[in-house]
Chains A and B, each alone.
Chain A
Amino acid sequence: MSEDIYREIILDHYRNPRNKGRISDADVSFHDSNPLCGDEIDIHLKVEDNIVKDIKFEGRGCAISQASASMLTEMVMNKPLTSVKELGKDDILENIGLVNLGPARIKCALLSLKVLKMSMVEYYASKDPESAQEIREGSRLY
């Protein structure tokens, strides 16, 4: 079972994370952690014309949480916010190829999406409170 989880691609993203770091002129940054495990993720977002112009993450934690964050940044780079808004739990689990992750570890996989959603909530907070509220509702992933 572990062999299915810790495939090469997960370990590759864990050891060589893509888009890791900060964005100095980010439009919005958000931090959250998983209190049970201590996984931590920061997401920095640069938005232009409602498109994710740049996304970077910082974090520490298990291979699943960090690989999932790394893969998420690739997934949403240069994508319109309207489509990012629609991302849900299943999209992430499919993206990382771990659809059968047990309840104990699913929070690790979904932490980065939660942080991304919350950074969008912040982004929309003043511009479009209604969308902000909608995304906030949708950020309750589990």
Chain B
Amino acid sequence: MLQSSTIDVEKIRQDFPILQRRIKGGHKLIYLDNAATTQKPRAVIDSISNYYMNYNSNIHRAVHQLAEEATFAYEEVRQKVAKLVNARSAEEIIFTRNATESINLIARCWARQHLTQGDRVLITEIEHHSNIVPWQLVTGEVGASLDYLGVGDEGRIDIEEFAQKIHDPNLKLVSVSQMSNVLGTILPVKEMTNLAHEVNVPILIDAAQSVPHMKVDVQDLDCDFMAFSAHKMLGPTGVGILYAKREILEKMPPFIGGGDMIKEVHKQNTSFNDLPYKFEAGTPNIADVIGFGAAIDYLNDLGFENIREHEMQITEYALERMNEIQGITIYGPPIVNERGAVISFNLGDIHPHDLATILNDFGIAMRSGHHCAQVLMERLDVSATSRVSFYVYNSKDEVNILIDALQSARRLFGL
């Protein structure tokens, strides 16, 4: 067993029931699609069933014991999230359905208020569709425009170019990914935030790929908004997180109207609830928020520094082994400390979908396609790539099987 020095992968794997299952042909599951979603440890699954079996109740309103327990558990997770990203207070943490909804909330409630005709929103070419389409919608509505910061072949941005681009009196918002879901490139979001703030432009950071893999501190970055999701960090689907600075949230109009977001409702008008409830209308995803709490505990126990170190080791090993394969093209930065544990590549003229089908025969779950980043695909001039992405339970042994599978694909296609 090739061990990574920081965390005990074999021990971790025991905590994930799904990793014990077999894929067609009797193969062990080799799950390398973590940038899409991650697997769930037993602690997360158990915490959700425990809620349903023992204290299922609606939250915030009733005074019976179940409601008290459920409310406490739900709000405790908000505290955990606040601590995770070092928010000033839990009031700055809003639960949504996913990172996409978090970005849309800002587009609807902040950008719609602040953008007028001729204004601009600046994003980059590496963005996921979730950080493109909401801005297209809102800028289209008000007659504003969407501007792109170009990226180099490895997905890097030019900070000088960024510094120039933001000196634009019509620029009202910057929205960028901290880590590319395709290339793994880590963007210098702290520098970008500083530069944006010099010209009084707020910045949203799409942290869906970064928060699960490294220590992220919203006060250190000083970003105005941040979006990420639970399911990419061992948590359940259906829980997104929006962080926003309190003073901005206070001035924002509500997102969706309904129960829980109100203080008083009269026939013709309503006063809205305090933060963060103003932005959480209706019964929230109580069970899955509670499950997310267990995921945060699990990751904190491993330690984010150890997680990052493990991922850098496995990515470096994978890059080294993959580079040995003839005919492979690997995208993204070659240096591991500039990237996350995501590797996009193409192998000869084998289309990524065909490659994914072949790898599936080895039990390998790998992503193929445009990864919801068609703007980046156009920039790279490819229609699709194959993508492997690692997390805490992936081992170097699995990388070895990946390499064997890729060699087998080469033979099958006569490369």
Contacts and interface: CB of A to CB of B under 8 A. Distances in A.
Contacts of B383: 38, 40, 60-61
A37 B353 CA distance: 7
Interface residues of A, number: 20
A1 B413 CA distance: 14
Interface residues of B, number: 22
A64 B352 CA distance: 11
B357 A2 contact: yes
B215 interface: no
B414 interface: yes
A6 B412 contact: yes
Contact of B369 (A15, A38, A64, A105): A38
Contacts of B352: 62
Contact of A2 (B351, B361, B368): B361
Nearest to A39: B353
B298 to A, nearest CB: 31
B384 A64 contact: no
B353 A108 contact: yes
A44 to B, nearest CB: 20
B361 A1 contact: yes
A5 interface: yes
B411 to A, nearest CB: 10
B172 interface: no
A51 interface: no
A1 to B, nearest CB: 5
Nearest to B371: A38
B159 interface: no
B361 A63 contact: no
A76 interface: no
Contacts of A64: 353-354
Contacts of B354: 6, 62-64
26 contacts: A2-B412, A5-B357, A6-B354, A6-B412, A6-B413, A11-B413, A11-B414, A37-B368, A37-B369, A38-B369, A38-B370, A38-B377, A39-B353, A61-B351, A61-B383, A62-B351, A62-B353, A62-B354, A63-B350, A63-B351, A63-B354, A64-B353, A64-B354, A105-B353, A105-B357, A108-B353
